[in-house]
A = this chain, B = another copy of it.
Amino acid sequence: MKNPKSFVEKWKRDGGIVVHLTMYGLPIDNVIDRINSENKKILIIVGSEKVEGWFYYNSDYNIAIGNQPHSEVAALAIFLDRIYKGGELNIQFSDAKLSIIPQEKGKKVIKNE
């Protein structure tokens, strides 16, 4: 993305909220209900090594998935899991070409015609 700051600004102007995942933020369990009740589209910022202060001050929520250093991928996974209340694990894609049939052992995949 060429200009992430103007992207954030436009997102907010268009009525969305901005969530920045950072170990310095507020515990997710304390704010998740508030975020869900806003019922707005969410832009999620997941930083890597160095995130400019600007993003802390222009995000609507700075949220910690635990106040420890952690994997950004793991933080994103837990955040989405809380947003979807676990329902993301059961999502089926109506246009899927392949479907996995859960198995105790081994693999079973079917082709959808």
Contacts and interface: CB of A to CB of B under 8 A. Distances in A.
A113 to B, nearest CB: 19
Nearest to A63: B102
Nearest to A72: B73
Contacts of A91: 66, 68
A78 interface: yes
Contact of A56 (B57, B106, B109): B106
A33 interface: no
Contact of A103 (B25, B89, B105): B25
B65 A26 contact: no
Contacts of A71: 73, 77
Contacts of A23: 100
